[in-house]
Amino acid sequence: MTRRIDCDVAIIGGGLVGSSAALALRGMGFSVTLLDKGFCGAQASGVNYGGVRRQGRPPEQLPLSQRAHAIWPRLKALIGIDGEFLRSGHLKLARSAADMASLESYAADVAPFGLALELVGHNQLRDRFGVAGEVIGGSFCPGDGHANPRLVATAFAAAARRAGAEVLENTKVIGLTRNGAGFALEAEGVSVTARTVINSAGAWADSFARAFGEPVPLERTYPSMVVTEPLDPFLGVNIGIEGGGIYARQVTRGNVVVGGERALPLDDPDYSRPRSDGVLTIMQRASELFGPLRHAQAIRFWSGTEATMPDRNPVIGPSATTPGLIHAFGFSGAGFQIAPGVGEVLAELVRDGRTATPIDVFAITRFPPASQPGDASQAAMTTGSKETSP
Amino acid sequence: MAERAPPLIVGAGPAGIRAAMTLVAAGLRPIVVDEGHACGGQIYRQPLSSDGRDAEARYGSEAAKALRLHRDFAALDTLIDYRPRSLLWNLRDGAGDILRDEGSQRVRYDGLILATGATDRVLPIPGWTLPGVFTLGGAQIALKAQGCAIGRRVVFAGSGPLLYLVAWQYMRAGVEVAAVLDAAPLSAKFNLLRALPLSPGIVLRGVRMAAELKLRGTRVVFGADRLAIEGEGRVARIVYQAGGRAHAIACDGVGYGLNLRSETQAADLAGCAFHFEPRDRAHLPVRDASGRSSAAGVYLAGDGARIAGADAAERAGERAALALLEDRGLPHDSSRAAVLERELQRIDRLRDVLEAAFPYPSHWGGDIADDTLLCRCEEISAGEARRAVSDFSLTEINRLKAVTRIGMGRCQGRMCGAAAAELLAAQTRRDIGAVGRLRAQAPIKPIPLAAGLSVHERQHDPAH
Ligand SMILES: Cc1cc2nc3c(=O)[nH]c(=O)nc-3n(C[C@H](O)[C@H](O)[C@H](O)COP(=O)(O)OP(=O)(O)OC[C@H]3O[C@@H](n4cnc5c(N)ncnc54)[C@H](O)[C@@H]3O)c2cc1C
């Protein structure tokens, strides 16, 4: 029996982007249906590393990132839990003079945005932050931090539900058609009509964009994570490394989460698993950088599926072909921090058709249009086959 | 033509040993990895160093089987690549990662026999984390491998054939066994009559053990409910309800367990499909009568595939090895395979009866008191779990894990996973099969971060 729902806004994808948009839209009084093919917060938003950092982002993301930055400390009031958010500071390390120079020039570039970056030398790294290993200096962003991703996205969805959003889990959207003034959306066991649709389907969002004549060069990436047994506190800050390698943080309970390298998709590319040599490499780098890790045990590895765009910037904004369709995906390994801000921006786009936060650089039109653009009024999509990118 | 990689057998218990023998007899040279320092698995575990006791004292009625397996495996010494004290921590695409002496090695294989065995199944009860409380299997291993008892005056509680066996072994070892608290009502035991024609030996041995325990003054209680272990800093007594009344028994050691659960992470990592098995109240890897899993070249044998005991494990190991030989196009004895399958079927019918005689106390999962620790690695109480279930409208076990950390600690859910599923099912009034199963993730058990250092000091395997 197919259930019918009519609402103002249907949101495809209950990651942190979709869930925070749902909550913001409820706050504005819209009727909202949030659909996820699995459980809300079970994909990238719930399984990421948990870095809540502005430092290192392309400058064009910083206005949006700053907007999100103001939301993180208010989580308790907003969603009922603090999400284990810690404003620990984010310390980015440089292993070479060239890396240090690039940290310095980044600091100069983003000075107008007010991240209060502080450049630190080798001795300070050891004395203040307990970092050993071959590091020559770093850049410290005191206002950044980290949080528990497993809780945050799930709690946003739960808060949206409490606020009156219809949250449908295990409900995969398999068809989306533009009809009349709005959309008809088909999912397992339910059909939804909505005036506006938000495509926040994460690593699965490209099929919805393509169906409306807006193909995007979305690729999937699968970062690998290692977590240790609980250890005495030794790492107060969230660590990154200029040029990549690993990133590391210690949670209040004592476990150290270390990310880096890439996992490989399984036969079903919706799922992935860390490569053994990848996790061994992460473990090696981490134990070289931090003395206390040399005798620690790794208890768990995991990875997640993230949508990555070639220019490392997301797609956020209205569809160029289809009125009422709004895209928000492709956060390229850095969407966790920014997502609560994206949710507010999406709600403003629905309500006002515009937002004061600069997002023009994230327009989907920056990618070449389809060779045969779909007719926007007729466009329809059906998923079902698995979409894979190389 | 490149030479084919050898088959890999994981586990050197009864199933793994018989599988190795069968492959060797066909001219293959399998790799056998096992965490233990010597072969035998849990049931025929060997002592770390000789303690003067003989096999009779150690294995009781099973001494002859134990000795035969140890001897048979020793005879394979030069014919297999045996790697004791080695933890297989990951599996994928025809290669396994094996940790030994803090170094990890990637080993290619062609054909995989998983004989990973079982561990105790427990449901948390008040006081279950007090010093002096052991699982039934743990209590047995202390006796077998280390020759030491878990206390001077001990109570055994729970369900399953192991309950009486361990109690009896302790009694024989000279320990005072104050009580056997069986969760099942006496009426369940009449099922044993149905087992008589299938395996009179086992039934009579069990009845004799219970009788001998009683003769020596052990209190045997049926239908023991609402167990709780009490004591200041360590076990002092166990309390329970039976016949509508509360009882207490003073003791300084408790062996507790509700039968066993299969170790299935390796099968999960190897890509095997799973199905829900009502008799075991668990999701288990799918396999056919020969032991073939749903993944090509992956075979399952012994308690790791489904709890059936040591005798079945021996046969299943041999049967799975024959399947591997057949799939490799090597000569194999198909009439022997048929005999083994028949015997396995008979044992399986016996397990059905034993399950009815030692039924799992399924109502306990809903009864776990809120302040009882559910996940001891991450220190999460049953109450916290219940709160998360209602706060986040959870219905699935991996989501419960994600928001509470249950099953995320050192044991990766091996200890708390079954209980968390029971609690979730009870609270959401769903069938235990409907709450899903914890997905396995590498590493199967904790591995030192230093393992990363050692692997990079060595040359990389060029095949990788
Ligand atoms: C391992 C890892 C580590 C990371 N570390 C960090 C970090 O430290 N800091 C940071 O800022 N960012 C990090 N990121 C990135 C961040 O997690 C993502 O950018 C962000 O979560 C993306 O949110 P989302 O809502 O777009 O996607 P998702 O959370 O993936 O949500 C998309 C949802 O859409 C659903 N969906 C897809 N198709 C359909 C359909 N047809 N019907 C219904 N539902 C559908 C999916 O099930 C999914 O739940 C990391 C990512 C990964 C994978």
Q: How far apart, in whole angstroms, are the C-alpha atoms of residue B404 and residue A299?
A: 17
Ligand 1 atom closest to residue A36's alpha carbon, by position in its atom list: 44
For residue B460, being part of any structural domain is answered with no
What is the distance of C-alpha B208 from the center of its chain?
Answer: 25
pLDDT at A389: 28
Q: How far is CA A358 from CA A52, A65, A312, A355, in A?
A: 20, 11, 17, 7
Q: Do A42 and B399 touch (CB under 8 A)?
A: yes
> Residue A52 contacts by C-beta under 8 Å, 6 or more apart in sequence?
A72, A85, A144, A145, A146, A147, A238, A336, A337
Answer yes or no: do B49 and B76 share one domain: yes
The ipTM estimated for the assembled molecules is 0.91
Q: How many residues does chain B have?
A: 464
pLDDT tens-digit map of A238-282: 999 998 899 999 999 999 999 999 999 988 888 899 999 999 999
Pair (B300, B253) in one structural domain: no
- B420-456 as b/e: b if 16+ CB within 10 A: bbbbbbbbbeeebbebbbbebbbbbbbbbbbbbbbbe
pLDDT at res. B36 = 92
Distances (CA, A) of B408 to A149, B377, B389: 14, 8, 17
pLDDT tens-digit map of A168-211: 999 999 999 998 889 999 999 999 999 999 999 999 999 999 99
> Can you tell me which atom of ligand 1 is nearest the CA of A203?
30
User: What are the residue ranges in chain B where pLDDT is below 50?
Assistant: 456-464
Q: If you average pLDDT over every residue of chain A, what do you get?
A: 93
Chain B CB contacts of A228 below 8 Å: 449
Residue B437 lies in a domain: no
**Whether B245 and B156 share a structural domain:** yes
A293 → chain B, closest CA residue: B449
Kindly state the average pLDDT of the residues A349-371: 92
Q: How far is the CA of A14 from the centre of ligand 1 (A)?
A: 9
- What one-letter code names the amino acid at A15? G
Q: Is A37 on the interface with B (CB under 8 A)?
A: no
Which of A306, A345, A347, A357 minimizes the C-alpha distance to A149? A306
Whichever domain contains B101, its CATH number is 3.50.50.60
Share of chain A above pLDDT 70, in %: 95
Instruction: For residues B147 and B213, state if they share a domain.
Output: yes
- Whether residues B138 and B98 share a domain: the answer is no
If asked whether residues B148 and B252 sit together in one domain, one would say yes
The distance of Cα B97 from the centroid of its chain, to the nearest Å, equals 22
Structure confidence at residue A380 (pLDDT)? 53
CATH, residue B392: 1.10.10.1100
Contact call for B451 and A283, based on CB within 8 A: yes
Residue A246: per-residue pLDDT? 95
> Can you read off the two tokens belonging to residue A178?
């533009």
The pLDDT value given to residue A377 = 42
Among B258, B274, B290, give the residue marking a domain's end: B258
Give whole-number Cα distances, B211 to B320, B357, B377, in Å. 38, 17, 39
Q: Do B452 and A281 touch (CB under 8 A)?
A: yes
Model confidence at A62, pLDDT cuts 50, 70, 90, reads very high
Residue A146: the pLDDT is: 98
Å between B453 CA and nearest CA of chain A: 5
B382 neighbors B369 (Cβ within 8 angstroms): yes
Residue B152, classed as helix, strand or coil, is coil
What pLDDT does residue B458 have? 44
Answer yes or no: do B335 and B404 share one domain. Answer: no
Q: Which two tokens stand for residue B447?
A: 């591995």
Tell me whether residue B113 is in a domain: yes
Query: What pLDDT does B81 receive?
Result: 97
Is 0.90 surpassed by the pTM of this model? yes
* Cα dist from A161 to A26, A134, A195, B429, whole Å: 9, 49, 20, 22
pLDDT at A181: 87
As given in the structure block, the two tokens for residue B411 are 């044991």
Nearest CA in chain A to B453: A284
Helices then strands, counting H and E runs in chain A, come out as 10, 23
User: Does B396 share its domain with B345?
Assistant: no
Tell me which of A100-104, A380-384, B386-390 is least confident: A380-384
Mark whether B347 and B283 lie in a shared domain: yes
The pLDDT score that the predictor gives to residue A232 is: 97
* Closest residue to A277, CB basis, from B271, B449, B464: B464
d(CA B165, CA B123): 20
Q: How far apart are CA B93 and CA B106, in angstroms?
A: 11
Looking at the structure, do residues B304 and B331 belong to the same domain, yes or no?
yes
What chain A holds in terms of domains, given with CATH numbers, is 3-47+150-217+311-381 (3.50.50.60), 85-143+220-308 (3.30.9.10)
Same domain, B85 and B14: yes
Buried b (16+ CB within 10 A) or exposed e, B194-209: bbeebbeebbebbeeb
> B313 and B402 share a domain?
no
Contacts of residue A291, Cβ cutoff 8 Å, sequence gap at least 6: A132
Cβ distance of B271 and A154 shorter than 8 Å? no
Cα separation values, B353 from A328, B206, B243, B346, Å: 57, 13, 25, 11
pLDDT digits (tens, 9 = 90+) for B417-449: 999 999 999 999 999 999 999 999 999 999 999
Residue where one domain finishes, among candidates B240, B258, B276:
B258
CB A149 within 8 A of CB A50: yes
Q: Rounded to an integer, what is the distance from CA A229 to the centroid of its chain?
A: 26
- DSSP code of B37? S
CA distance B293 to B262: 15
State the pLDDT at residue B462. Answer: 36
Tokens 């690593």 found at? A203
Domain that residue B376 falls in: 364-430
A228–B441 C-beta distance less than 8 A:
no
Residue B447 lies in a domain: no
| C-alpha closest to that of A140 among A101, A95, A98, A103 | A103
Distance CA A240, CA A251 (A): 15
Q: Are B259 and B159 in contact (CB under 8 A)?
A: yes
Taken in order A355, A357, A363, A366, the sign of the CA dihedral is: positive
DSSP assignment of A164-194: T-EEE-S--EEEEEEETTEEEEEETTEEEEE
Atom of ligand 1 nearest to the CA of A51: 8
3-state class of A113 per DSSP? Answer: helix
| DSSP labels, A196-209 | EEEE--GGGHHHHH
What's the pLDDT score for residue A271? 87
Q: Residue A287: which of B391, B405, B449 has the nearest Cβ?
A: B449
**Domains contained in chain B, number:** 3
